[in-house]
Amino acid sequence: MFMKNERIKLMSIGCLFCLVFSLFGFLLTRHEYNHYKESVNHYLYGLITVLQERYPNLSEQEIVSLLNQTGKSSIPKNLKKYGLNEDSTLLLSMENEYKTHQTLILGFTFFITLTFFVFFFWYFYRKEKALKELTNYMQELNQRNYQLGIELNGEGEISLLRNEIYKTTIMLREESELLKKDKEILKDSIAEISHQLKTPLTSILILLDNILDNPKMKEDTKRDFIHDAYTQVENIHFLIVSLLKTARLDADVVNFKQEDISVAKMLQMVLENLNALANQKKIEFKVECSEESFFKGDFHWEVEAFTNLIKNAIEYSHELGTISIFVEDNSLYTKIKIIDEGKGMNKKDIENIFKRFYKGENSHSDSAGIGLFLAKKIIEKDKGIITVTSELDKGTTFEIKYLKVN
């Protein structure tokens, strides 16, 4: 409908232009005709005056009769001796000039009209072709085919539309790839979650079946079974809580506060939370941190992140080991290093340690492989950067750096 209305509008303008130009040609022709008539009359008036003066015997009636005759016989023999003939007369020259002007005016008018219509059909042919291509392209996009290429060139409305469609295609293609990636991640996550839950649930069922099938079981054995079942329930609880936290972070529904966090107070709370776990392995903490060290972030979530990091260091440390925590604070950044002297990691573990559900070769059997992933997520939400270096049988170092950007 749009193209049809534009075609009618342009055709109407073109016809009006041609009509105006034709009217201009007609007026110009009329002007040429009047000029020609005036010239002929002036010429004839002069001729008659001269003839009457020089040839008084020639009557006015004869002169009028000669002028009113037509055809090549209009100039009789008795006047040819005065130099009047069909090829050299001024009247014939003026007539030829008049006809030439008429021919040029009509020819130019026809040329302009023809040019307009040729341009008109050529313009709409190209425009309709381009719109047809874009329509086919949009139909392909509606079929979720985002791998098509679209040529970007030229100017004008069609090119602008082409450019916008190209931008939309790129955006849809990227979103499609992200959706595919998210589906793969979700698929892998569901498989991993099922696996993570299946193991402790199976253990719990076995333990409970043993208790139910053996009513005369010794109290010490029964207590051990119940304790093991309780431990597995705790693991399931930790896994579910961690998964809910990561889901909230992935969905970007967590509103992170931007407050001044005292590194010393944060580390104090973290170490208090892990004190019992550290005492089991008789691990000593060595902390070097100024009371004036601060960085911007969410205190609650940062405690969660550093709890996971230091818990990981405890689990991989040997008994009677030492975990060192060094804090460096300057005008550019706040840097926190967590160094253990434990088992260390190989190259493969270092590359994958922050991936969801990844378990290293030396990880505990009850590890869910989600703590370090969650820690990295939280740190990056607060504009932090975390890196890891490790060497087998020598220990691991986590370095967290928070840039101080105004």
What is the β-pairing status of strands 259-262 and 294-297?
Answer: antiparallel
**What is the spatial distance between Cα 113 and Cα 124, in angstroms, rounded to a whole number?**
17
> Is residue 116 predicted with pLDDT exceeding 70?
yes
Chain-centroid distance, C-alpha 36 = 70
Assess whether pLDDT exceeds 50 at residue 38: yes
Residue type, 383: K
Token reading at 209: 């079946």
pLDDT of residue 103: 76
The pLDDT confidence band at residue 91, using thresholds 50, 70 and 90, is low
Say how far apart CA 239 and CA 47 lie, in whole Å. Answer: 123
Stretch 335-361: mean pLDDT, rounded?
86
Confidence of residue 307 (pLDDT cuts 50, 70, 90): very high
Q: Are 40 and 90 in contact (CB under 8 A)?
A: no
pLDDT value, residue 72: 47
Q: Could you give the domains of the chain?
A: 2-142 (no CATH), 158-249 (1.10.287.130), 257-403 (3.30.565.10)
Q: Which residue has the tokens 């030229």?
A: 154
Cα–Cα separations (whole angstroms), residue 157 to 117, 160, 164: 22, 5, 11
**In this structure, which amino acid lies at residue 100?**
T
The strand pairing partners of 340, in sequence order, are 323
| C-alpha pair distances (Å), 289 with each of 243, 307, 382 | 32, 17, 20
Residue 73 has pLDDT above 50, yes or no: no
pLDDT for 333-344, tens place per residue? 999 999 999 888
| Greatest extent of the chain over all pairs of C-alpha atoms, in Å | 168
Question: How many separate helices (H) and strands (E) can be counted in the chain?
Answer: 11, 7
Q: What is the pLDDT of residue 67?
A: 61
User: So what's the pLDDT on residue 160?
Assistant: 67
Whether this model's pTM surpasses 0.85: no
**Cα–Cα dist 314/322, whole Å:** 9
User: What mean pLDDT, rounded, does the chain reach?
Assistant: 77
In order of 15, 19, 121, 350, the CA distances from 110 in angstroms are 13, 11, 17, 82
Amino acid identity of 50? V
The residue ranking higher by pLDDT, 3 or 48, is 48
